Structure formats: C-alpha cells, structure tokens
Amino acid sequence: MSNGDRKRRKWGCVVARKDADGRIVSWQARYQSPVNPRQRIYRRFGLEFQTEAYRWLDEEHALVIDHKKGIRRWTHPSARTMHGRVLFSSYATRFVANLRKKDGSELSGRSKRIQKAALDKLLPWFGETPMCDVTEEFVNEWYAKACDEVRPSALEHAVWLLKRVMRAATERQPDGEPPLLSSNPCNLVTSVFRQINLRVVTS
C-alpha cells in the first residue's frame, strides 16, 4: 500500500480500500481500542466521504481521551446505540465537534474549552440516554439538580448547549436522515447566549 493511500496521524489512520483493479472504492478509519490494545476499531466510509472519516476519528479520539482521564467510560461505537436509537453522548459529542463560527472558521481555544466544559456538565445525566427518550420532564429534573451543583455561568453554558443539541435533533440530519425528534424537550430559558455567534458544520 503506497503512502498516498494512508495519511499518517498522531492517532488513528484512514486507509484507502481498493478493488481488484487498484481503484479506491472506500475509506476505512481505524484506531486502537483503549480497553483492549489487541483490538482495532473500524468504520468504513464511501469514496466521497474521506473528510467524514477523519472527522469521525477526531470525535472518537475525544472520547478516548475522556476515557483515559476518567471523565467517562469509553464504549465500542456499536454499543452507543440501542436498537438503532442514537445515544445523547454520541450525538452531542459530534455536535460540539462540528461547532464553528458563523463565518465557518474554527472556534477559538477559549470557546472550544467552554463548549467542552458545557458538554461535560450534560453527559453524566444524559449521556447513555437515547435521544428519543430525552423528555421535558427529564430535562427539568436535570436542571433542578444542576442548579444546586453547578455555578450559574457554567450552568448557563450547559443549558444553551442542551437547547442547541436538542433543536438540531428536531431538524433533518446532515446525512439526509429524518429528524430524531418531533419537538425540542428543552424549554429552559437562557439569557446570556441568545446572540451567540456559532453554527454547526453540516458538510
């Protein structure tokens, strides 16, 4: 396999898969399991989705880092869905990874840290819950507890992120799939971030 078929990275790799005639037909992203060094985690992407393959690796890397830091336990990608239902942890992590400024540029280091911290406030409560099972009552219960445990400014960021994640789930998905939810279960009121200058990359 030539060097052009595999891009070197500090973590994981994306490998070109070829047919009998030597033509690239797909891309395989893979990395070493953080719980079993002998196991490789794979995901295959179509020929036109090389960028998505690298994006997936970045998202998986973030999950592995959190696992090694003891923030949350890593689970195999196939275990992050229950009967085809997307888990909040998978959906929200991807959402945060795709956040950009409205002009399409990368977030500043500070903004990335703020969004990551906000996500960390949500995952212990919502993480292993399928998106379709996140109800308004479930959100309100989290908020009541968080009000006693999280400082106001951090809570404001977490509420803003939760509203955006759940709103994205009510819209047609970037891959063309239909919405995950019929309505947004997060109706909490925020004040500071109504005009926040962020958007989500969908392509």
Model pLDDT, residue 199: 52
Model pLDDT, residue 79: 67
120 belongs to a structural domain: yes
150 belongs to a structural domain: yes
One-letter amino acid for residue 106 of the chain:
E
Model pLDDT, residue 139: 94
pLDDT, tens digit only, all 203 positions of the chain: 444 455 557 899 999 999 889 999 999 999 999 998 889 999 888 888 899 899 999 999 999 998 999 888 888 887 665 545 789 999 999 999 989 888 888 889 999 999 999 999 999 999 988 888 899 989 999 999 999 999 999 999 999 999 999 999 998 887 777 788 888 999 887 654 444 445 555 43
172 belongs to a structural domain: yes
Both tokens of 73, joined, read 């336990």
Backbone angles phi, psi at 66, to 5 degrees: -60, -40
Model pLDDT, residue 191: 55
Half-sphere exposure of 123 (CA within 13 A, CB side): 20
Whole-model pTM: value is 0.56
Model pLDDT, residue 165: 96
CATH number at residue 125: 1.10.150.130
65 belongs to a structural domain: no
43 belongs to a structural domain: no
62 belongs to a structural domain: no
One-letter amino acid for residue 45 of the chain:
F
55 belongs to a structural domain: no
Question: What is the total count of domains within the chain?
Answer: 1
49 belongs to a structural domain: no
> How many residues are listed for the chain in this entry?
203
Domain membership of residue 154 as a residue range? 75-200
Question: What is the spatial distance between Cα 46 and Cα 198, in angstroms, rounded to a whole number?
Answer: 29
